[in-house]
Structure 1
Amino acid sequence: MNPHVRHLRRTLPATVTLAHGGGGSAMRDLIEGVFIAAFTDSDAPLEDQACFDLAALAAVGDRLAFTTDSFVVDPLFFPGGDIGTLAVCGTINDIAMGGAHPVALSCAMIVEEGLPVEILRRVAASMAETARAAGVPIVTGDTKVVARGACDKLFVTTTGIGVVRAGAHIGIGRARPGDIVLVNGLLGDHGAAILSARGDLALDSAIESDCAPLHGLVGVLLDAAPGTRSLRDATRGGVAAVLNELAEASGVGVRLRELDLPVRPEVVGFCEILGLDPLYLANEGKLVAVVPPEEAEAALAALRAHPLGREARAIGRIVETRPGRVVMETRFGGERIVDMLVGDQLPRIC
């Protein structure tokens, strides 16, 4: 995605060919006709990198955050989003979970020969719309085309940089006994939406993915609870994976209350039919926050005042007993271990 001189756009063929990855005029046509048209309104020459004003970054915070992620979702389009929405939101959220304000994204695409160009246009348009709405521009990138069968339609890799606000010290190993575990809303929607979109089980459901950029929500949370210990977005492996990682890294136990878990009835029904557990389903707009007990009430109020946190709940607490373990207090008064899965309940979901 780095041509040096623009030219008049030519008509693109219906599908991507290997020539579109060869570095010549066909590749230039694809990049300009699809990606540049979506990602930038500027007529400035395109370089091989994006540059930033260090003074402007330093004015926002005192450290840089940097992350990268690859997205291989199947199907490419699903209720509530697509692979492009997923890529932008997922990378913004990874930056935000460090207490950072995202500044810019890069985008690299691996495209299978034969993919309809219109699909690329739709994905690029979705990425551009999501990035603009979030206020986080896509500033550089790359495109590669591989032969049929070398990848499954389209793989997207996005990288993000952000600036960590001064005074924020957030990490997976910082939880302490007495801390409260919060989530910002209903769990498992993304995993259920992907399963429904695949159509293998002829399930009829209106569940949509919860894809959303969470940096604004994190900002209001940290304003209300500056002592926040840990933040994680509950993607692959769901809330269960996040809390197991936290328990191990912090050397603490986690106790959850099943009655406090916010899960919509449709997702509960999905899981009962298929033998799944909502705690392990992926989310793309949900975070797990661990906050000191004296800040929990303010944190919960701040989350609930934000559009992406209206269904926020306190779901458990950090304890000294059984370090490294997550224990669920069931609705029937018993207990069960919430362990880390060996694999994934649903592959190719993000």
Structure 2
Amino acid sequence: MDKTKILLAHGSGGRLTHDLISKYLVQSLSNPLLNKLDDAAVFKTGGNMAFTTDSYVVSPIFFPGGNIGKLAVCGTVNDLSVMGAVPKYLSLSFIIEEGLDITVLEEIIQSIAAAAKEAGVEIVTGDTKVVNIGKADKIFINTAGVGFIPEELDISGSNAQPGDAVIVSGTMGDHGIAIMAQREGLNFKMAVESDCAPLNGLIADMLKACPRIHVMRDPTRGGLATTLNEIAAQSQVGIELDEESIPVKPAVGGACDALGLDPLYVANEGKLIAILPEEFAPKVLSAMKAHPYGVDSAVIGRVTAKNPSRVSIRTPLGALRILDMQSGELLPRIC
């Protein structure tokens, strides 16, 4: 591996991404807000505000269950929402390759409008750049978003505590396998669609059931395993999962078996992880299952004081194995 060049794996959300961020970005730009490395920065401007930004370079730009426009809105809304914020305003910037069909752009914009309407957010500013043929891949989108956090909430990747329950809002790996199937022309017996969706409505219901949720995170690049490793490191706790409790659709599990992939490392775009006091887990789980985006929710593990910064998983045979952070590039340009 050439350590003097940027590789696709640096954008995977795994270990190389974290090395790049910690060694270059955080080291040079260090400040208290940035150093938390949460999905959005939280700061006070009269009240608590969350601010986030993201760029979308997914290939292909249309896929089962969505397109790059829907993905951009949902991804930004979700990054705000998992911090407990109520998303309000988004920016939208396009980098468009010369030659893109106007009807393609129109369809993407209509998807953006529909996703924004569903999430209850407004696109209030933006920018458009056009580059020469061959200088981009059809279209890239950058977004930023702001939202407001109720004073009583304190949600962060550094808040997980021993004894907490770990919950996921649904099946793992849907988005990554949908992208891979579309990109590579793979056909499965059962169709696989991206789970791309805005989660702010689901999260609002969860917070009504339990305003003491400690951590929420959407397991996008790097999947469930990498995201839980991030949380374990931020909170300096151990996390132990029950493999049989983790929901995976049969089609996704079968595709992963055939392709030699682990669904726990495959990206999601409409799912979340919640970590909260165990006594509130039944009430929160009930609220999640009552929402369309949480019907497959499940308690999948617990936080422990043992093995800080480590994630382990108990197999159906009862063995306990380490679930490490993704180190290479499983599937580039997933979002």
TM-score (norm. length: structure 1): 0.81
Counterpart in the other structure of 2:229:
244
Counterpart in the other structure of 1:335:
320
The alpha-carbon deviation at position 200 of structure 1 amounts to 4.2
8 Å contact kept, 1:236–1:344? no
Question: Per the alignment, in what secondary structure is the counterpart of residue 90 of structure 1?
Answer: helix
Counterpart in the other structure of 1:303:
288
Is 1:106 aligned to 2:91, yes or no? yes
The alpha-carbon deviation at position 201 of structure 1 amounts to 4.1
> Out of 259, 262, 268, which is 2:244 matched to?
259
2: CA distance between counterparts of 1:344 and 1:80? 23
Question: Per the alignment, in what secondary structure is the counterpart of residue 282 of structure 1?
Answer: coil
Question: Per the alignment, in what secondary structure is the counterpart of residue 157 of structure 1?
Answer: strand
The alpha-carbon deviation at position 336 of structure 1 amounts to 1.4
2: CA distance between counterparts of 1:250 and 1:260? 23
* Cα offsets for 1:20-76 (capped at 9, x unmatched): xxxxxxxxxxxxxxxxxxxxxxxxxxxxxxxxxxxxx97xxx311110000000000
Percent identical across equivalent pairs? 51
The alpha-carbon deviation at position 225 of structure 1 amounts to 1.1
The alpha-carbon deviation at position 315 of structure 1 amounts to 0.2
Q: Between the two structures, name the one with larger relative contact order (CA 8 Å, sep ≥ 6).
A: 2
Counterpart in the other structure of 1:95:
80
Is 1:214 aligned to 2:181, yes or no? no
The change in CA–CA distance for 1:204 and 1:120 in structure 2 (over 3 A counts) is farther
2: CA distance between counterparts of 1:344 and 1:127? 28
The alpha-carbon deviation at position 284 of structure 1 amounts to 0.7
The alpha-carbon deviation at position 229 of structure 1 amounts to 0.3
8 Å contact kept, 2:243–2:316? yes
The alpha-carbon deviation at position 287 of structure 1 amounts to 0.2
Counterpart in the other structure of 1:173:
158
Q: Which amino acid counterpart does residue 184 of structure 2 have in structure 1?
A: G
The alpha-carbon deviation at position 93 of structure 1 amounts to 0.2
Counterpart in the other structure of 1:189:
174
Question: Per the alignment, in what secondary structure is the counterpart of residue 293 of structure 2?
Answer: helix
The alpha-carbon deviation at position 199 of structure 1 amounts to 3.0
Q: Which amino acid counterpart does residue 138 of structure 1 have in structure 2?
A: I
2: CA distance between counterparts of 1:239 and 1:173? 17
The alpha-carbon deviation at position 343 of structure 1 amounts to 2.5
1: CA distance between counterparts of 2:187 and 2:245? 31
Counterpart in the other structure of 1:231:
216
Counterpart in the other structure of 1:121:
106
Is 1:160 aligned to 2:138, yes or no? no
Question: How many residues matched?
Answer: 291
8 Å contact kept, 2:189–2:251? no
Counterpart in the other structure of 1:274:
259
8 Å contact kept, 1:107–1:158? yes
Question: Per the alignment, in what secondary structure is the counterpart of residue 177 of structure 2?
Answer: helix
Q: In angstroms, what is the RMSD of aligned CA positions?
A: 1.2
8 Å contact kept, 1:196–1:204? no
Is 1:323 aligned to 2:303, yes or no? no
Question: Per the alignment, in what secondary structure is the counterpart of residue 115 of structure 1?
Answer: coil
